[in-house]
Chains A and B, each alone.
Chain A
Amino acid sequence: MYGYLGIDVGSVSTNIVLTGEDGTVKHSIYLRTRGRPIEVVQQGLKQMQAALPGKIKVAGVGTTGSGRHLAGVIIGADIIKNEITTHAVAASNVVPGVQTILEIGGQDSKIIILRNGVVADFAMNTVCAAGTGSFLDQQASRLNIQIEDFGSLALQAAVPVRIAGRCAVFAESDMIHKQQMGYNVPDILAGLCEALVRNYLNNVGKGKEILPPVVFQGGVAANVGMKAAFEKALGFSVHVPLYYNVMGALGAAMLAREATNRKSTGFRGFDVADREFKAGGFACDGCPNICEVVEILESGQVIACWGDRCGRWSNALAHHEKIS
Chain B
Amino acid sequence: MKVVYPHMGHMWICVKAMLEYLDVEVVVPPPSSKKTLLLGVKHAPEFACMPLKLNLGNFMEAAEMGADTIVMAGGCGPCRFGYYAHVEHAILRDLGYRYQLVVLEPPQKHIGELLGKIKHITGHQSWRRVINGIRFGYHKAEAVDQLEKMSHYCRPRETRAGATDRALQSALREIIAVDRPEKLPAALNNAMGMMNAVSLDKQRPVLRIGLVGEIYTLLEPFSNLDIERKLGGMGVEVDRSIYLSEWINEHLFMGLKKNKGGSKLAKQKAIKYLGHSVGGHGLETVGSTVLYAERGYDGVIQLLPFTCMPEIVAQSILPRVSTELGIPVMTLIVDEQSGEAGLVTRLEAFVDLLARRKQTGKVLA
Contacts and interface: CB of A to CB of B under 8 A. Distances in A.
Nearest to B333: A126
B256 interface: no
Interface stretch (B92-100, B114-122, B240-248, B342-350): B342-350
Interface string A102-133: 00000000000001111111101000000000
Interface in A282-324: 287-290, 309, 311, 315, 318-322, 324
A36 B312 CA distance: 40
B113 interface: no
Interface stretch (B65-73, B133-141, B155-163, B276-284): B155-163
Given A82-B349, A85-B349, A115-B364, A322 B161 contact: yes
Given A287-B33, A289-B33, A315-B165, A322 B352 contact: no
B234 interface: yes
Given A116-B362, A124-B346, A324 B235 contact: yes
Contact of A288 (B34, B235, B360): B34
A319 B233 CA distance: 12
A82 B35 CA distance: 31
Given A115-B365, A287-B31, A85 B162 contact: no
Contacts of B345: 82-84, 124
A227 interface: no
B265 to A, nearest CB: 28
A215 to B, nearest CB: 17
A319 B161 CA distance: 7
Interface residues of A, number: 28
B348 A82 contact: yes
Contact of B162 (A83, A124, A315, A324): A315
B33 A324 contact: no
Contacts of A118: 353, 356-357, 360, 362, 364
A309 B345 CA distance: 16
B36 interface: yes
A85 B348 CA distance: 9
Interface in B26-74: 30-31, 33-36
Contact of B161 (A83, A122, A315): A315
A66 interface: yes
B111 interface: no
A290 B35 CA distance: 9
Given A124-B345, A288-B34, A289-B34, 18 more contacts: A84-B345, A85-B348, A85-B356, A115-B364, A116-B365, A117-B360, A117-B362, A118-B362, A119-B349, A119-B356, A122-B349, A289-B33, A290-B35, A311-B162, A311-B165, A315-B161, A315-B165, A319-B161
Interface of A: 66, 81-85, 115-122, 124, 287-290, 309, 311, 315, 318-322, 324
Interface of B: 30-31, 33-36, 156, 158-162, 165, 204, 226, 229, 233-235, 328, 341-342, 345-346, 348-349, 352-353, 356-357, 360, 362, 364-365
